[in-house]
């Protein structure tokens, strides 16, 4: 686990070079703590809510301080886990409040990633959708640290937005499939009509 503050700042926007590998998760706009090695003893001692849904978020009241904030963040943005060289690593979202400079750096890093990954400026672009989704998750993380209720509300907005996009995507795919079927049917009907025209022309010549 990296302890120096300067290295932690680097891990804010990029994975630490020591943990980067083919099996490690890609860099994200979401601010994460440095990756730590997970053992079975650590799991039993301090279990993490992985994959928790918005319907099972921990109560806002009941705990206090950093522990409650970390539980809420882990429920909203589950920790990332991966295996590397036979060892299991885990990386949780950071519970450090964001400053004005962090927000400016986030905006600059978003623009850099959009350019580096050649994201389209208009139209449908999975790369642009992914990057803006990460940026929105980072904003949810920043807001949740200061006000958990506001973070929960933003989480609902995010989930509703994703469901709406998925619904439009399903409609688009269905429309494309319907159009392809109609086009094939039209081609088949055209060939049938051409054969019938040729047959009628032959009968006309015989007469």
Q: What is the pLDDT of residues 36-64, one digit of tens each?
A: 888 753 654 454 444 444 445 555 554 45
Q: Is 72 exposed, middle or buried (0-12, 13-18, 19+ CB in 10 A)?
A: buried
**pLDDT, position 5:** 38
Mean pLDDT value across the chain: 79
Question: Tokens at residue 18, please?
Answer: 């020591």
Look at the chain and count its residues: 207
The predicted model gives 167-192 an average pLDDT of: 87
Residue 172, CA atoms < 13 Å, CB-side half-sphere = 7
* Sheet bearing 36-37, strands edge to edge: 36-37, 87-91, 80-84
Question: Tokens at residue 204, please?
Answer: 């006309």
* This prediction's pTM: 0.65
- CA gap 40, 42 in Å, rounded: 5
**pLDDT, position 12:** 39
**pLDDT, position 3:** 36
The predicted model gives 3-25 an average pLDDT of: 43
Has residue 191 got a pLDDT over 80? no
Torsions phi, psi for 116 (to 5 deg): -65, -35
- CA gap 74, 92 in Å, rounded: 7
Residue 193 contacts by C-beta under 8 Å, 6 or more apart in sequence?
Answer: none
Has residue 151 got a pLDDT over 70? yes
């Amino acid at each position: 686990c990296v302890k120096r503050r300067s290295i932690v700042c680097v891990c804010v926007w990029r994975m630490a070079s020591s943990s980067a590998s083919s099996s490690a998760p890609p860099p994200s706009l979401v601010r994460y703590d440095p990756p730590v090695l997970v053992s079975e003893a650590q799991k039993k001692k301090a279990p993490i809510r992985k994959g928790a849904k918005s319907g099972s978020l921990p109560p806002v009241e009941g705990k206090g301080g950093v522990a409650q904030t970390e539980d809420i963040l882990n429920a909203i943005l589950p920790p990332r886990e991966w295996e590397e060289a036979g060892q299991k690593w885990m990386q949780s979202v950071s519970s450090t409040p964001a400053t004005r400079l962090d927000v400016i750096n986030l905006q600059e890093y978003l623009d850099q990633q959009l350019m580096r990954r050649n994201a389209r400026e208009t139209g449908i672009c999975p790369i642009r959708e992914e990057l803006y989704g990460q940026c929105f998750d980072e904003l949810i993380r920043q807001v949740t640290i200061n006000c958990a209720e506001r973070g929960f509300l933003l989480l609902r907005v995010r989930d509703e937005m994703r469901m709406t996009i998925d619904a439009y995507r399903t409609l688009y795919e269905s429309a494309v499939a319907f159009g392809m079927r109609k086009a094939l049917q039209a081609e088949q009907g055209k060939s049938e009509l051409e054969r019938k025209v040729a047959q009628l022309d032959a009968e006309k010549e015989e007469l």
